[in-house]
Amino acid sequence: MSEVQNQKPEKKPIIFSGIQPSGTLTLGNYIGALRNFSKLQDEYDCIYSIVDMHAITVRQNPAELRRRCMELAAIYIASGIDPKKSLIYCQSHVPGHAELSWILNCFTYMGELQRMTQYKDKAAKHADNINAGLFTYPVLMAADILLYQTNLVPVGVDQKQHLELCRDIAQRFNGVYGDVFTIPEGYIPKVGAKVMSLQEPTRKMSKSDPEDTYVALLDDPDTIRRKIKRAVTDSDGEIRYDPENKPGVSNLLSIMSALGAGTLEELQNELAGQGYGTLKARTTDCVIATLEPLQAEFKRLIADKAYLQGVLDENARTANYLANKTLRKVQKKVGFASRG
Ligand code: AQP
């Protein structure tokens, strides 16, 4: 056998990320996470989950949640993820996530979870439903990532704290049982890692906030124009990137920059001396130009439910296979009885 024939195909590093089907995806989800997903699929083995188990930490309407899972599968594919190259599946179809999460709960301290800012924010937002799932959300997220021996996790900056906790849990577990888990790194974009709310630009844009605070990926051009036109800016009239003092203007500049309109410096120079009307119109054009092809593809895909279901079913089988490899190893390490 020749040397070339003898070589095994090189194993690619692994990427895992997930998005909650907890609302209509926003421009924040797109810029902070989704737009990077398809770019990474040639260099990495990518696993993109629809994290429906995370979504129920906040009360969901069952029919809507089911519909949004299918929509998110269509959005993933419409954004350029190829389900033949990358795995797209629902978290709840792979029981290993919940099983590993339980084990990792026993390696996570209450104090660590109490420090999580997302927990504090969401507990304040949903004061009538501060459930244990909301509290242990970061442990489930650690299980999602560690289950696949992930090397890299593309996320927005809001998930950095959870990712650091995931690394701590993995290191703690490895410290006791040997090198069971790969320690993952974050992949956080330089521009657009935190897209801010259009109405309160000191807070992040979130899909579960009121409609006028975000641009939804499926908003039509008129809605996008109206929402950006009403975006909160300031009264000094100068187009300058200064997130501390000019959060609204800076947010629009960084959205444009993240969508490829130029560096922040180039945009500031180009727009210097112009009014906020021009800034908003330019931002609107960038957003519409980015979303139009994605929306067209989404419409085509969502009409073919049988295809989407087929993708989810087939990829869940592969995800289960991969997840069980890690899970069995972990179960053995902690001393669970062997199976006959
Ligand atoms: N505003 C944002 N800017 C940049 N990235 C963002 N992400 C979310 N909001 C922004 C990134 O999107 C990915 C998916 O997020 P998620 O759905 O898992 O949960 P989230 O971070 O809690 O997003 P939302 O929109 O705020 O959802 P709700 O309102 O349901 O809590 C993540 O990589 C996240 O970093």
Ligand 1 pocket mutation pick from 29, 40, 144, 205 by most atoms within 8 angstroms of CB: 29
Q: Is the CB of 174 under 6 A from ligand 1?
A: no
Q: State pLDDT tens for residues 3-12.
A: 545 566 678 9
pTM above 0.85? yes
Span 180-207, average pLDDT = 94
In this structure, how many other beta carbons lie within 10 angstroms of the beta carbon of residue 105? 16
Residue 94: the pLDDT is 98
Cα 28 to ligand 1 centre (Å):
7
**C-beta 159 within 6 A of ligand 1:** yes
- Distance (angstroms) between ligand 1 centre and the Cα of 87 equals 20
- The answer to whether residues 196 and 202 touch, using CB atoms and an 8 Å cutoff, is yes
Which residues, including other chains, have CB under 8 Å from residue 213's CB and lie 6 or more apart? 197, 198, 199, 200, 205, 206
* Distance (Å, whole) CA 330 – CA 181: 9
Overall residue count recorded for the chain in this entry:
340
CATH code 1.10.240.10 region(s) in the chain: 211-300
Average per-residue pLDDT for the chain:
95
* CA of 288 relative to ligand 1 center, distance in Å: 21
pLDDT tens, position by position, 302-326 = 999 999 999 999 999 999 999 999 9
Task: Check: CB of residue 134 under 8 Å from CB of residue 122.
Answer: yes
Q: Is 154 in the pocket of ligand 1 (CB under 6 A)?
A: no
pLDDT of amino acid 1: 45
Active site residues: 122, 204, 207
By the 10 Å C-beta count (0-12 exposed, 13-18 middle, 19+ buried), 120 is classed as exposed
- Check if 50 has its Cβ closer than 6 Å to any atom of ligand 1: no
Q: Residues of the chain with pLDDT > 90: what percent?
A: 92
Please spell the DSSP secondary structure of 266-282, one letter per residue.
HHHHHHTT--HHHHHHH
Q: Is the CB of 28 under 6 A from ligand 1?
A: yes
Atom of ligand 1 nearest to the CA of 29: 12
pLDDT at 5: 52
Tokens of 211: 């409609």
Pick the more confident residue, 242 or 4. 242
pLDDT category of residue 2 using cuts at 50, 70 and 90? very low
Domain with CATH 3.40.50.620 in the chain: 11-183+305-334
**What CATH superfamily is the domain 11-183+305-334?**
HUPs (3.40.50.620)
The pLDDT tens digits for 59-70 are 999 999 999 999
Helix (H), strand (E) at residue 72 = helix 62-78
| Nearest atom within ligand 1 for CA of residue 17 | 33
At the topology level of CATH, where does 211-300 sit? Tyrosyl-Transfer RNA Synthetase (1.10.240)
